[in-house]
Amino acid sequence: MARVIVFGSLNMDLTIEADRMPVGGETLTGRGFFTNPGGKGANQAVAAAKLGADTCMVGAVGEDAFGDELISGLKGAGAGTEAVARVADAPTGIAMIIRTQGENRIILDPGANHTLRLPAVSAELDRLSAPGDLFVTQLECDHGTTFAALAAAHDRGLYTVFNPAPAVPVPDEVWPAVDLLCLNETETEIITGVLPQDDATISQAAAWFADKGVDPVIVTLGSRGSVLLRSGSVTPIGACPVEAVDTTAAGDTYIGALSAQLAAQVGAGAEPAGLRVEEAARYASAASALATTKLGAQQSVPTASEVQAFLALRA
């Protein structure tokens, strides 16, 4: 199996539930407060590891108790942490999460996540990776470093999976280093100017990505499933209906599961052009759905056996 190398954020999630969002100057009584290891990068690494991939995390935390807990969580899931730096001049990243009516509103303090620069990431790529491995990244770390790291990984022969979240406009020179783009409908709108709500707008978004040379692209559509945009065609991928409790790690579980499945294909001898992305996306949809049935981020990520059992029930 190819290795999955995730460069991204590690945050401690501080989460509480309320019936609604408070208005300015108002204090509400909440419930169900808990802390949970999170961060898009760490969540995706945990998901890939729990779903069977040889996974290494590249990132940074502070020299504090939250940093200790985040590293412990990665290790517990089976992800390698030797490339997680401990920095003395910044705290571990924090995510403040308010849960209201099954949805999340999140405020981030990136902390140590913004301290890594390209030389450190490149050194870890040289140490940990080989051509054919997967490189997975998001946008909770320094943007310039992330864009440069995509190019560095691509130049080393890694298959790059880019999840541009939280979304920002992406410079045109970044796209040639992206082998697979995976983003949700809101992120699609921010990047392309098109909100993919129906066949017409999905086709408009597909044309935008095609013009930039990005292929394939997966756009997740929440309860409507997702679509695979590849070689000019649009392939719908149905959702897996469940009773959602908390959507915190759903998208990250999707990315981790997708990466684990693609890594397994590479390990079985598949070349990048022959990767069965649609098959991997259907598996990722099931894993993501299961993640919404539990509270929290990393603790909600299902195991490979749980996903297989869920898929067997739907067969």
Catalytic residue positions?
252
- What amino acid occupies position 125? L
Question: How far is CA 153 from each of CA 79, 94, 160, rounded to the nearest angstrom?
Answer: 19, 27, 7
Give the 3-state secondary structure of residue 94: strand
The Cα–Cα gap between 231 and 182 comes to 15
Containing H/E element for 303? none
Question: How far is CA 141 from each of CA 122, 207, 307, 308, 315, rounded to the nearest angstrom?
Answer: 15, 29, 30, 33, 39
